[in-house]
Amino acid sequence: MKSKFIDLVQYFESLATCHKSILHSPAKKHFFRFELEEFMTGMKSKVNYPALILEGYDFQFTDSTSDNVHKVINCAFMLVGKISDKGDYDAIHALWDQLEEIGDELIVKILDDKRNRNVEVLSYFNIGDVSGAPLTDMNLIHYGFRYDFKLSWPLTNDINPVMWNEPNQ
């Protein structure tokens, strides 16, 4: 079965639903699928904290002797919280600690689901491809962590004849 980005979105929504520090639900939204700019410029009124935000992705193709074509997906997710007093550095650091711990737990869960073959979209996840960095939005009092990671999805190199018309002769 071919993996798709929607599979990854559904998986991350399930992570947000099941993690006890996030507890996403349809009534109390903690999971979002959009870009950082959208979050920072207007979506915040619908956000409950901590928020897990899955960003879009970019990709490239790899080819090992044409028999092992893969689509390498560069993804990112963010964990974001809110501190009302942007001068309260103790609260900011405590929030960063909390969000980093949640992020590390998510990465460990992803690794476990990959190892146990529970989620096909994670088949080629490699923890060595994960990096994280703190986020700060001083004007809008949001803080968090952004985790970058890669996935790889096999891609068939067989042409699907249903998708092509015969050339005019």
Give 91-108 pLDDT, tens digit per residue: 999 999 999 999 999 999
**Residues 160-165: what's their mean pLDDT?**
90
Q: In this structure, is residue 169 part of a structural domain?
A: no
Alpha-helical runs (H) found in the chain: 5-18, 36-40, 89-115
Which has more pLDDT, 46 or 123?
123
Which pLDDT score, from 0 to 100, does residue 90 have?
Answer: 96
- pLDDT beyond 80 at 145: yes
Which pLDDT score, from 0 to 100, does residue 10 have?
Answer: 95
Beta bridge partners of 60: 72
Q: In this structure, is residue 165 part of a structural domain?
A: no
Q: In this structure, is residue 167 part of a structural domain?
A: no
Q: In this structure, is residue 164 part of a structural domain?
A: no
User: What pTM did the predictor assign?
Assistant: 0.86
Which pLDDT score, from 0 to 100, does residue 42 have?
Answer: 54
Q: In this structure, is residue 161 part of a structural domain?
A: no
Q: In this structure, is residue 23 part of a structural domain?
A: yes
Which pLDDT score, from 0 to 100, does residue 67 have?
Answer: 75
Q: Residue 66 is part of a domain; what is its CATH number?
A: 3.30.70.1700
Could you give the number of structural domains in the chain?
1
Q: In this structure, is residue 24 part of a structural domain?
A: yes
- pLDDT beyond 70 at 110: yes
Q: What is the pLDDT of residues 45-56, one digit of tens each?
A: 678 899 999 998
The parent domain of residue 53 ranges over 5-156
Q: In this structure, is residue 137 part of a structural domain?
A: yes
- Tell me the helix, strand and coil percentages in the chain, rounded to 5: 35, 30, 35
**Residue closest to 98 by CA, chosen among 7, 4, 19:** 19
